[in-house]
Amino acid sequence: MPKILAYKNQQQINNILQYLNWTVDNAQIYIDKYKSFAALPALETIDIILFFNNPRSFIVQKLTNGEVLKVGNLTLSSEKVYDMMDRPAGLDEFITEIEHLKSDKSWREIYFGYLNRLDIVNGKAVPKQSYIDEQTELNSYYIESENQNSALNLMNEIAPKLNSLFALLKSDNNSIDELFTGTGTGKNRTFQARLSKAANLF
């Protein structure tokens, strides 16, 4: 039988989308500031992790096309190369601002973890559609057999009747075990109503 969607955890999906959108909004602030430095190459999706995690190394890699710089046999670190560069006004302050994000609770606990779920399209951060689709599928539960389909139909039939039954109770403190008794285990388990309870609990 073709699989049937039984349940989608929309609350969990919405939580993920909220975190993604928060990350987009906060990342875009720094992407826009980066774009104000005309001498710097445009940001691409592949850049986003290094840009936020190690902005000095990122700037050096962008401007040197990833080449390793040496003086004689001495390899220069990204930090050293950055210090030697002729930098546009305001870049140092901008880099420091990004480096300080690691001390920000929201960035540390949420946004850094979602950066790799973003794309950069025409200078704008957007959630990766592939990630949204993946999380939607992970939070979707399907019926794929006749047994599962029969069980789902029975559960949908039983639930409203149980709701109606419990609505008749005198107290809010009773449980289903007080109304029914069961014998056996698994597929051999059978249930009977505790008829004596009808006089006491309703």
172 and 87, same structural domain?
Answer: no
175 and 85, same structural domain?
Answer: no
CB of 137 within 8 A of CB of 18? Answer: no
93 and 188, same structural domain?
Answer: no
| Boundary (domain end) residue, out of 120, 138, 156 | 138
20 and 105, same structural domain?
Answer: yes
With a CB cutoff of 8 Å and minimum separation 6, the contacts of 43 are: 31, 34, 35, 51, 120, 123
201 and 108, same structural domain?
Answer: no
Q: How far apart are CA 43 and CA 48, in angstroms?
A: 7
The pLDDT assigned to 196 comes to 77
User: Could you give the number of structural domains in the chain?
Assistant: 2
Does 97 map to a domain? Answer: yes
Residues 177/179/183/186 CA torsion (nearest 10 deg): -60
Q: How would residue 88 be classed by pLDDT, with cut points 50, 70 and 90?
A: confident
Q: How far apart are CA 125 and CA 26, in angstroms?
A: 10
What digits encode the pLDDT tens for the residues 103-129? 999 999 999 999 999 999 999 999 999
Does 144 map to a domain? Answer: no
118 and 64, same structural domain?
Answer: yes
The residue that leads in pLDDT, 45 or 167, is 45
Q: For residue 15, give its domain range.
A: 4-138
Q: Which of 161, 192, 27 is nearest to 106 (CA)?
A: 27
The pLDDT assigned to 67 comes to 57
The pLDDT assigned to 78 comes to 62
Does 146 map to a domain? Answer: no
Residue 72 has pLDDT above 70, yes or no: no
CB of 8 within 8 A of CB of 139? Answer: yes
Exposed (0-12), middle (13-18) or buried (19+): which is 50, by Cβ within 10 Å?
A: middle
Q: Which of 80, 76, 82, 33 is nearest to 62 (CA)?
A: 82
Give the tokens for residue 174. Answer: 């009773």
Does 147 map to a domain? Answer: no
Does 22 map to a domain? Answer: yes
Q: How far apart are CA 147 and CA 64, in angstroms?
A: 62
Q: CA end-to-end span of the chain, whole Å? A: 43
The continuous run of DSSP H or E covering 18 comes out as: helix 10-35
The pLDDT assigned to 181 comes to 86
Q: What percent of the chain lies above the pLDDT cut of 90?
A: 48
| Boundary (domain end) residue, out of 138, 156, 190 | 138
The pLDDT assigned to 80 comes to 63
pTM over the 0.85 mark:
no
Q: How would residue 30 be classed by pLDDT, with cut points 50, 70 and 90?
A: very high
